[in-house]
């Protein structure tokens, strides 16, 4: 997207997301422009996504997913969501799923891909502006989003987390 074509709402969202600092959320480190393209530079976090740890045998063999480690992953992910939901303005992730949860070898967890995030104070979010409404991954969507086409709320993130 050309910077000149980036609307004000999108730039406000990106700026807000770049200010988020939580140990369990991948941070936006800088914003820039290269060849007239908006560049978002993210924190580097050497990890695997939770989906791969759970379902890819070559990766899952590298992790010991005992009850304590699974509790820790869930707890850290819930801390990230709580931070977003209590943020002012409230931020709703809208695509909580195992592939957006990163886990390193020490079982430190970081929630990523806030690209679908919706800031409560902004009527038009980045994705709803571009795609016209419903966003997220169907398999992890809260029923009220998928079936009733209602707007996303913090409760929808909690449903997806579950």
Q: Which residues are catalytic?
A: 95
Cβ-Cβ contacts under 8 Å for 126 (sequence gap 6 or more): 9, 10, 13, 14, 115, 116, 117
With tokens 């695509």, the residue in question is 95
Contact 150/94 with Cβ under 8 angstroms? Answer: no
Q: In angstroms, what CA-CA distances link 152 with 95, 120, 139, 160?
A: 10, 10, 15, 11
- The set of residues, in sequence order, having a beta carbon less than 8 Å from that of 26 and lying 6+ positions away, is 42, 43, 45, 102, 110, 111, 112, 114
């Amino acid at each position: 997207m050309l910077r000149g074509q980036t609307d004000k709402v999108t730039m406000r969202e990106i700026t807000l997301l770049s200010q988020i600092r939580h140990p369990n959320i991948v941070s936006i480190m800088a914003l820039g422009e290269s060849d007239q393209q908006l560049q978002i530079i993210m924190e580097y976090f050497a990890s695997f996504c939770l989906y791969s740890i759970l379902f890819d045998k070559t990766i899952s063999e590298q992790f010991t997913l005992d009850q304590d480690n699974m509790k820790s992953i869930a707890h850290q992910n819930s801390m990230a969501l709580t931070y977003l939901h209590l943020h002012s303005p409230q931020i709703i992730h809208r695509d909580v799923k195992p592939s957006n949860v990163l886990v390193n070898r020490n079982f430190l967890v970081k929630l990523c891909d806030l690209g679908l995030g919706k800031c409560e104070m902004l009527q038009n979010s980045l994705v709803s502006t571009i795609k016209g409404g419903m966003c997220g991954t169907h398999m992890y969507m809260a029923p009220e989003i998928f079936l009733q086409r209602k707007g996303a709320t913090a409760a929808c993130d909690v449903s997806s987390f579950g």
